Structure 1
């Protein structure tokens, strides 16, 4: 029985993430900044918002400034405070779209062609330096199943059938088959 190469094992991770992306894509599931912020907050704080400094749950929200404020330590923070998008000038929806693009390119095995620095800079209309930083930060987050942005954009659950999970090769072939099946919202 053939063993998977390290590149194929890494691609399996990306295929699992791709299959968990929303039907119709991230743009349809999270059409605006509010939807993105709500999703990020729900994933980041599944039991309710807690202060990033003192971890108190006595937190309010300043609607005009779109900031949380801790009533215990008086710290103000946003949904992105302390995350890879902390102090980013890019909108949160932009991070979600870029995350989907990175997952899709790696899952389909075309990352080397589609995720070039200058190509992404032209596609997104931002500087090469900003694109490089965005890509590096998202790659670290998206490559692990517990990454915050990965969990935020990967909303569909699915399980590999128990009879398929007997070997890496069987799982890989099953995932490739799932990838070739038509997925609504993707080319």
Structure 2
């Protein structure tokens, strides 16, 4: 009988220990997310991003989010469709930016998309072009970056939110991923582009 109260006392301590462990894990997570998340959302090429984003009037955090989503910061990335570099640009799209006068073709070659500075310049120009085309709508520009301008024109004609109107699951997921990355980069690196 003497052991019985002791056993019950031990069972009272177990829930308190569980709460303490969960509280400790929660506290560690709340103080260390930037360390854990910054490994998932690295930031590179800050100078090139700041320069090109500024020149084209684009949010540098949006450029960073597109790079993260498109290539995971791999300047040598290539898609099966032929998109190349950090921002996964088609050579035809890059040349179109030169033809429209948005990128100086004497300084930047559409054939050199593996060069991070070149790719960021063309990608920033293209993002700026899309944002202007869609009257300042970053979401429409992001969707067009992945799904094409004509498709976005069709989707916005529907009387619903853009996300619900998008008929390509890949583009729906892309829009969410870029917006999430955009938020993360703003939170993790608030002074990166000052």
TM, length-normalised to structure 2: 0.27
Higher relative contact order (CA 8 A, sep 6+): 1
- The structure with the larger Rg is 2
